[in-house]
Amino acid sequence: MIKLRTLVEIAGFPKEHIEEVMKNIIIKIKEDKEIVVLNVSVADTKPVKQIWSSFAEFELEFKSFTSMLDFCFDYTPSYIEIISPQDLEFKSIEMSDFINDLLARLHQYSMVVANLNAENKVLKVKLQPLAEKSKAPKSKK
């Protein structure tokens, strides 16, 4: 078993949505057969700038290295602190699987960023005539 402490944060609006999402995250983690929830502490939802934010601190045990990595991919915690064991041993296939999963995610995110960048360029080109038109001096009648 791998025991760790972790922090899962969420932000958005409205406040009620953030509270509901956090509640559902906790339920989903508790229902996961590969995770043992030892402790969970949820912070109050508070405004941060123009959005609402909350976090939950968990103390969890995982049945395997892979299940811990799956948790990290699924919930993207802000941090993890492995409490035990002090030394981790895993098979090369586990590390290969992890690295391949990480690379697949990075490629996926890279594609999303590239698509957003392309859409942004197209929007700028389409908006340019409007921007120039709004800067043009208005004729007096």
Residue ranges with strand state E in 68-116: 79-84
DSSP assignment letter at 63: S
| Residues 23 and 48 sit within 8 Å (Cβ to Cβ) | no
Task: Please tell me the predicted confidence (pLDDT) of residue 135.
Answer: 76
Task: Please tell me the predicted confidence (pLDDT) of residue 129.
Answer: 82
Q: What is the pLDDT of residues 15-47, one digit of tens each?
A: 999 999 999 999 999 999 999 999 999 999 999
Distance CA 95, CA 62 (A): 16
| Residues 42 and 22 sit within 8 Å (Cβ to Cβ) | yes
Phi first, then psi: give them for residue 18, nearest 5 degrees.
Answer: -60, -45
Domain ranges of the chain: 2-87, 90-134
Task: Please tell me the predicted confidence (pLDDT) of residue 140.
Answer: 64
Q: Which fold would CATH assign to domain 2-87?
A: Alpha-Beta Plaits (3.30.70)
Task: Please tell me the predicted confidence (pLDDT) of residue 97.
Answer: 86
Q: Is pLDDT at 49 greater than 90 in this prediction?
A: no
Q: What is the pLDDT of residues 90-139, one digit of tens each?
A: 788 888 988 898 899 889 989 999 999 999 999 988 888 877 777 767 66
Q: What is the pLDDT of residues 80-92, one digit of tens each?
A: 999 999 888 878 8
Task: Please tell me the predicted confidence (pLDDT) of residue 141.
Answer: 59
